[in-house]
A and B are shown apart, each in its own frame.
Chain A
Amino acid sequence: MKRKRIDRPSRRKFLGASAAGIGVAMTSGLPSIWRGRSQAYAAAPAAKVVDPELAEFEKAGIDWKQASGEQITVMVIPSLFFRVAQEFSPQFTKLTGVQVTWQVIPPVQMREKHVLDLSTKTGQFATVSTDPTYYPLFATNNWVEELKPYLDNPALTNKEWLDLKDIFPIWLEAASYNGKLYGLPYDGEATLLLYRSDLYGAKNIAVPQTFDDLLEAARRLHDPANNFFGGNFGYHIRLINMYIWPSIFRAYGGEWFDKAGNPTVNSKQSIDATSYYVEFLTKYGPPGVANWNWPESLDAFVTGRLAQTFIGSATVPVAANPAKSQVVGKFGVGRWPKGPAGKRVTSVWNWSFPINKAISPKAKKATWLWIQWMASKPMQIQTSYGYKGKEESRSGVNRVSMWDDERYRKTVAFAPGFADTVLTSIREDTDIDWRPRIPEWPELANILGLQLHRALAKQATPKEALDEANVKIAELMKR
């Protein structure tokens, strides 16, 4: 029987192609019936006429569309400044042709997912909002790209337009390790003293300049019988105490390591700092404060139960919002008081974006464009004083020049002198060694945070707790 035979090679090719096609379809895409949300970003057609919205960005003169067609996923924390940025995401897609998917995950879990993704090299997230103290870890493990090649490449970056010098130097330093830059900051804050200016005025208390002043102010305002507490040092539950304690530690002159590299967290200065911390909270803090996280501290302040506390500047807008606060117009902000060593030490905090090494080169380009876009001055402007949406205004832009700009200052007038206090704090009170810049930081924080918590909970004296922490940290560094 004669059979019509398809030419052999082409049949094989056909079968191979269809198998490949099915394989690709099965592994890369899933029937859209399973998709919860359809991705509705369409790539913009190439336009000769410059869109007014994109005009500022086109001034850079680089080819924004060089990574067109790419799809990247970015992960950020649930916060005001990222929500506002996300509203502008369609603009980025219009500008570059790159589709961006945003994942919003709370900080602790976000960090876990990020580390999981980086360490398993699965390349799920092109970039993630990063805690500055994690850069040593990322860099040591070679998980993120050095940004210098991207910055020096004229096809990718117009250095003058991007103007890195305009970004807070300490924030850039925080996103670097061993002199190499790994991430660009988008938003940041300084930790400030938040105090009830009306009560200070009533009792003739001046804004505390030293830790002793602070203690005294707390003593005079402490009124537990009326559910009013003298002060809080911020937040203490388990690890979050490492956001506040290092400021006290450094202000007392504490050093993380000695010249030989041995840890010295149990030095006399450290013990003094910790004793002060424990004494302050035990005497004048709200009861059960060891379990508080920053929202509790903020809420206690805005419901009028706390005389003063230390808190990140990003949360101050809440206190100034009549819908959220009972102390509108009654509070002030100040810098950290001076410690015995004469230093004022605020936090070095910002959210910056690195580039994941485990993604494709084109995706890395797309990510670089996105990071640039986020950190650029036009973006900072359109998300702060240029913003006309329904969210509240940002208070942590990364551009020094904007902090001096009256238009920005008007939008951050939450308390008298807010902008200046933040600016001065970032410029003068920041200490790059506020936390040690080592890859072992997460575990070190774990050890130290636990011991401090034990000291606060009176399970150990400050000396015992710090001695134990020091021993464990020494072991950690040896490994």
Chain B
Amino acid sequence: MRPLASSSTAASPRRIRWQALIAYPTLAVILLVWTFPLVWVLVTSIKRRTDIFTAPPTIFFQPTLSNYVFALTARPVLANLRDSLIIATAATLITLAVAVPAGYAYARLRFPLRRQLSFLVLFMQMMPLLGLIVPFFLMLTWLRWTDSYHGLVLVNLSVMVPTATWLMITFFQDLPPEMEEAAAIDGASRWQTFLQVMVPQAAGGAAVTATLAFLTVWNEFLFAVIISGSRVRPVTVGLYGFLQFEESLWGPLMATAVMAMTPIILVSILAQRHLIRGLTLGAVR
């Protein structure tokens, strides 16, 4: 498929100049709007405490890495990052393991109650998360699973499984039926068809679902603060702990936020190709 972009740039020289005149400044504005707050996060993370909440805001300052050092040594931010990593990875893997087969089944197979259960998947996505706190607190305390990895993974699964399933249904519906039919004609079993034919095709969609799941769980705050405790502490809770009684430590807080963003940035860079393929929601026919 020829990339569409190339066909639209064929134009007269005047048109190109006019485009460039508008295009580049607009590009700069776009970039500025979306990156400025993040730049400010970075800037704040390397400011000394006395430069942070000033009027007017301090633009020229002496940078320092003390906030990062503080976050890593005086507070258990490293342990928080590790905890977040464990919880997010486990939740994502389980979500995928559950949602991919289910998505295929709802999208392509026929079985009793299919329609009703599809509605249930849709319905469960809509859950008001706040309403789940009390029941979850009760349930997990009874099981003695508060302040534990599996407790937090379970709580996050409740949120991610329906959405992930629904997304995978969408992705599987997108796929052309030819390969599936060909496999059937070749005599492949259902499981083989699924595993060797459908899953590779849906890899893009699975990548998107996985990234979305990981990101959501990684940044989750409300459940984390209620369910976690001293043994297990995701980084969002650790972050919030910089708002102390006597003062708020904005510097270390922003430093931790920066550190918390890095794993995801790495993951999305590595999985970029799959992600792009998967994000073509509905456009591929």
Contact = CB atoms under 8 A, between A and B. Distances in A.
A78 B243 contact: yes
A7 interface: no
A36 B53 contact: no
Interface stretch (A49-57, A103-111, A452-460): A103-111
Contacts of B149: 34, 36
Interface string A295-339: 110111011010000000011011000011110000000000000
A124 interface: yes
A28 to B, nearest CB: 6
A318 B249 CA distance: 11
Q: By CB atoms of chain A within 10 A, which of B55, B138, B241 has the most?
A: B55
Given A36-B231, A80-B246, A106-B243, A227 B56 contact: yes
B43 interface: no
A120 interface: yes
A124 B146 contact: yes
A321 B138 CA distance: 44
A109 B144 contact: no
A79 B231 contact: no
A175 to B, nearest CB: 18
A305 B246 contact: no
A80 B226 CA distance: 22
Nearest to A302: B50
A113 to B, nearest CB: 6
Contacts of A79: 244-246
B54 interface: yes
Contact of B245 (A36, A77, A113, A117): A77
A117 B149 CA distance: 20
A299 B243 CA distance: 13
B246 A318 contact: yes
A259 B176 CA distance: 79
Interface in B38-63: 49-50, 52-56
Contacts of A314: 245-246
A348 B146 CA distance: 34
Contacts of A324: 49-50, 247
B73 to A, nearest CB: 11
Nearest to B233: A36
A35 B232 CA distance: 8
Contacts of B226: 109, 112-113, 116
B260 to A, nearest CB: 17
A113 B142 CA distance: 15
Contacts of A120: 134, 137-138, 141
Nearest to B134: A116
A121 to B, nearest CB: 10
Contact of A103 (B54, B229, B247, B248): B229
A27 B145 CA distance: 9
A117 B142 CA distance: 11
Nearest to B66: A323
A124 B148 CA distance: 13
Interface residues of A, number: 45
Interface in B150-166: 150
B236 to A, nearest CB: 11
Contacts of B240: 106, 109
A36 B85 CA distance: 12
B56 A104 contact: no
A122 B142 contact: yes
| Chain B interface bracket (under 10, 10 to 19, 20 to 34, 35 or more) | 35 or more
Given A116-B226, A326-B50, A303 B243 contact: no
A73 interface: yes
Interface string B197-226: 000000000000000000000000000011
B243 A295 contact: yes
Interface in B218-272: 225-226, 229-233, 237, 240-248
Nearest to A29: B144
Interface in B66-98: 79, 82-83
Given A314-B245, A317-B246, A104 B138 contact: no
Interface in A103-137: 103-107, 109, 112-113, 116-117, 120, 122, 124
A302 B55 CA distance: 12
B185 interface: no
A118 B147 CA distance: 17
B11 interface: no
Contacts of B138: 120, 122
A34 B90 CA distance: 12
B142 A295 contact: no
B283 interface: no
B31 interface: no
B109 interface: no
B27 interface: no
A323 B245 CA distance: 18
Nearest to B149: A34
A446 interface: no
Given A298-B247, A300-B53, A303-B54, 10 more contacts: A27-B143, A73-B229, A101-B229, A103-B229, A107-B245, A109-B225, A120-B138, A295-B243, A299-B248, A300-B55
Q: Top 7 nearest A-B pairs by Cβ distance?
A: A79-B245, A295-B248, A299-B53, A227-B55, A122-B141, A103-B230, A78-B244
Interface of B: 49-50, 52-56, 79, 82-83, 133-134, 137-138, 141-150, 225-226, 229-233, 237, 240-248
26 contacts: A27-B143, A35-B231, A36-B83, A77-B245, A79-B246, A80-B246, A101-B231, A104-B241, A105-B225, A106-B240, A106-B241, A106-B244, A109-B240, A116-B133, A116-B137, A120-B134, A120-B141, A122-B138, A124-B146, A227-B56, A295-B247, A299-B52, A299-B247, A303-B50, A318-B246, A324-B49
